[in-house]
Amino acid sequence: MPATDQVEAVAEQVFVALADPRRRGVLAVLAANGPSTATDLADRLPITRQAIAKHLALLAEAGLVTAEHGERRRVRYGLQPAPMQLAQQFLAALTRDWDHRLNALKDHLER
């Protein structure tokens, strides 16, 4: 897969994951508190542990979190910034394209 297609595919997964406010909430708690278990997250959010587990699975599929196995079979989830950075690059490229087009339109209208 070419680099541009790969960036776009990762960006799409990130945008799908971020579309749900509960998943954004999970990411916000992880960003504020560091790696946490599903139980820790359920204690901090108005979501059941089972729902948290489903959201974590989708976030992991998008590459936004990773599971770290600890003692007593506890799994802690931590943030992974790389997919978010690729999504930001994708948006920055779109912004540059639009800025160029809007500047060209502005120049044309001013003539």
pLDDT in tens, 79-100: 999 998 888 888 888 888 777 7
Other C-beta atoms lying within 10 Å of the C-beta of residue 103: 10
Question: What per-residue confidence (pLDDT) applies to 91?
Answer: 85
Question: What per-residue confidence (pLDDT) applies to 28?
Answer: 96
As a whole number, mean pLDDT of residues 57-74 equals: 90
39 contacts 28 by C-beta, under 8 angstroms: no
Q: Can you name the CATH fold of 2-110?
A: Arc Repressor Mutant, subunit A (1.10.10)
Q: Which residues pair with 36 in a beta bridge?
A: 77
Question: What per-residue confidence (pLDDT) applies to 94?
Answer: 81
Q: Where is 77: in which H helix or E strand?
A: strand 75-79
Task: Describe the crossing of helices 49-61 and 3-18 by its angle, rounded to 10 degrees.
Answer: 170
Break the chain into its structural domains and give their ranges.
2-110
Six-digit token string for 57: 């699975």
Give residue 101's pLDDT band: very low, low, confident or very high (50, 70, 90): confident
